[in-house]
């Protein structure tokens, strides 16, 4: 039995989409000379599902057409030549229409193959997907690695699919949604299947983190209940936090460093510093085993203290990504972020004082957003002076509380899934600001952030943006386009 797990290319016009591994999936025309997006997250769940299958004796492969820069026809030709018995890929809201069309093409070339769809959209929109699209044979919800293994075993044995936890399947004309599968024990999951992937194309170079860098994870889950977070609601379905063994984490890093010339490591956890003792254990393990490489993590600012930051710095931390979203406390309370903005500001100060680069993630268009709250957020940014930052448009993905609230209040004004792009396209308004207002503000914030980054780190910015301009001249063209749009008089 042959199994193919894939992340097929997602191409529309001159834009390439980023789907698997992205908490905010989006499309971009900022491509490298190799024809791939300039930022590609590592697709942990597909790669780990494939590794779990191989560990259990299946002939399984994982292909990433996004990181390869593949064209759809070439990718389909490869799939046809491989002739899998089971095919699985993830889908997300903005890629959904494209993926449906791709599955229809798959059905034409693989008439006997079981076609499976997985991921966030399946968890939150599965029944509707299966009612609209008979081309889907099975769906895999939440964390789907172990569901894939049980599905493969059932198909190989010719057993019925009844009772496979986490599965959506059909019985005649009936759509069956099995109960969700419990969250897996991370200590029992294998390392992701990386060996045949273009590993040096997966990079997150925020806050001047050296490239190429290795994306890792040490935990899954988050106890917080941010209303916009599709990852917690549709990926995990609960607020549990589970941890890996620090020794195993360092062993995996060492193994990857022997195979590829990575210059840094990025822990892309939901919240890397959620547990102080665990964070300190990782730092101690790195030092004891002599792991000397710059690293960074996705963290909450209000959870760090000086002791932990000093330990992280001593172990090699050079940058940290803090999710702030907004500097308006009422907005933060409204989205259940449970972040004390004053405590966050103090921790940012300590972080910079210790010489650790600070990257802030911020959002435009959350409920309660006004021009005054956006100005307040920018005043906060100017006051804390981060080294790097990013602004995303608040996007109500299905499965989130934000989506339910936006539907109830009539804020969503786009009916096209492919417009749910947190990078540049607003699909919902706020009570005070239109979609056009929000898109204008995101352009303005992005231009302002470039200016502040240059003021804070001029030589690093020159080096970084020179490299990025050579890598993708479209970045400079887009910056110029944003500036011209910003200069246009407001209607």
CATH (domain of 130)? 3.40.50.2300
Consecutive H or E run containing 321: strand 317-325
Could you report the average pLDDT of every consecutive run of 10 residues in the chain (491 residues)?
Answer: 96 86 83 82 96 97 95 96 97 92 97 96 93 96 97 96 96 93 95 95 86 95 92 89 97 97 96 96 97 96 95 97 95 94 96 96 95 96 93 89 93 82 82 92 87 82 72 61 60 54
DSSP 8-state code for residue 60? E
115/260 same-domain check: no
232/110 same-domain check: no
* Residue 183 is assigned to a structural domain of this protein: no
**Looking at 330-424, which runs of residues are DSSP E strands?**
357-364, 388-393
226/171 same-domain check: no
139/278 same-domain check: no
Tokens representing 163 are: 């009772």
CB-count burial class (<10 Å; 0-12, 13-18, 19+) for 410: exposed
Final residue belonging to a domain, choices 177, 192, 225: 177
* Residue 199 is assigned to a structural domain of this protein: no
* Residue 268 is assigned to a structural domain of this protein: yes
* Residue 481 is assigned to a structural domain of this protein: yes
Final residue belonging to a domain, choices 122, 153, 177: 177
* Residue 204 is assigned to a structural domain of this protein: no
Q: Are 25 and 18 in contact (CB under 8 A)?
A: yes
304/409 same-domain check: yes
Question: What residue numbers bound the domain in which 385 lies?
Answer: 209-487
How many domains would you assign to the chain? 2
* pLDDT score for 188: 95
d(CA 232, CA 127): 20
* pLDDT score for 473: 62
* Residue 201 is assigned to a structural domain of this protein: no
Final residue belonging to a domain, choices 133, 155, 177: 177
Determine the 3-state secondary structure of 175 from DSSP: strand
Tokens representing 490 are: 């407001």
* Residue 168 is assigned to a structural domain of this protein: yes
* Residue 185 is assigned to a structural domain of this protein: no
Nearest residue to 105 (alpha-carbon basis) of 132, 137, 75, 76: 76
40/102 same-domain check: yes
Q: Are 100 and 135 in contact (CB under 8 A)?
A: yes
Query: If you count them, how many residues does the chain have?
Result: 491
154/264 same-domain check: no
147/218 same-domain check: no
**CATH code assigned at 446:** 3.20.20.70
d(CA 267, CA 220): 11
């Amino acid at each position: 039995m042959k199994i193919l797990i894939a992340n097929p290319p997602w191409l529309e016009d001159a834009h390439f989409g980023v789907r698997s591994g992205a908490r905010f999936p989006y499309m971009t025309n900022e491509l490298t000379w190799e024809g791939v997006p300039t930022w590609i997250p590592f697709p942990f769940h597909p790669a780990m599902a494939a590794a779990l299958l191989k560990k259990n004796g299946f002939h399984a492969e994982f292909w990433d057409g996004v990181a390869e820069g593949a064209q759809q026809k070439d990718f389909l030709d490869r799939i046809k030549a491989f002739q899998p018995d089971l095919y699985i890929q993830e889908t997300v809201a903005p890629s959904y229409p494209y993926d449906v069309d791709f599955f229809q093409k798959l059905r034409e070339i693989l008439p006997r193959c079981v076609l499976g769809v997985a991921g966030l959209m399946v968890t939150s929109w599965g029944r509707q997907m299966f009612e609209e699209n008979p081309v889907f044979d099975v769906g895999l919800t939440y964390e789907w690695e172990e569901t894939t293994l049980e599905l493969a075993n059932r198909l190989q044995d010719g057993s019925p699919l009844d009772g496979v936890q986490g599965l959506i399947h059909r019985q005649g004309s009936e759509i069956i949604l099995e109960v969700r599968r419990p969250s897996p024990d991370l200590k029992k999951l294998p390392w992701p299947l990386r060996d045949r992937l273009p590993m040096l194309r997966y990079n997150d170079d925020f806050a001047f983190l050296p490239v190429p860098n290795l994306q890792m994870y040490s935990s899954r889950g988050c106890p917080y209940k941010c209303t916009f977070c599709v990852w917690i609601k549709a990926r995990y379905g609960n607020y549990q936090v589970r941890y890996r063994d620090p020794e195993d984490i360092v062993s995996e890093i060492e193994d990857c460093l022997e195979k590829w010339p990575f210059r840094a490591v990025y822990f892309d956890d939901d919240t890397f510093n959620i547990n102080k003792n665990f964070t300190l254990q990782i730092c101690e393990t790195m030092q004891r085993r002599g792991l000397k490489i710059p690293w960074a993590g996705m963290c909450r600012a209000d959870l760090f203290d000086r002791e932990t930051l000093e330990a992280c710095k001593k172990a090699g931390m050079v940058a940290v990504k803090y999710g702030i979203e907004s500097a308006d406390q009422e907005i933060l309370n409204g989205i259940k972020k449970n972040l004390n903005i004053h405590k966050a500001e103090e921790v940012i100060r300590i972080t910079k004082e210790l010489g650790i680069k600070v990257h802030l993630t911020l959002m435009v268009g959350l409920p309660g957003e006004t021009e005054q709250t956006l100005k307040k957020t920018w005043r906060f940014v100017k006051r804390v002076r981060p080294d790097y930052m990013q602004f995303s448009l608040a996007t109500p993905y299905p499965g989130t509380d934000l989506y339910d609230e936006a539907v109830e209040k009539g804020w969503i004004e786009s009916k096209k899934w492919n417009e749910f792009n947190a990078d540049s396209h607003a699909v919902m308004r706020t009570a005070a600001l239109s979609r056009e207002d929000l898109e204008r503000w995101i352009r303005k914030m992005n231009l302002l952030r470039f200016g502040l980054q240059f003021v804070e780190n001029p030589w690093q910015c020159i080096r970084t943006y020179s490299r990025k301009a050579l890598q993708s001249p479209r970045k400079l063209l887009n910056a110029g386009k944003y500036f011209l749009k910003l200069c246009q008089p407001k209607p």
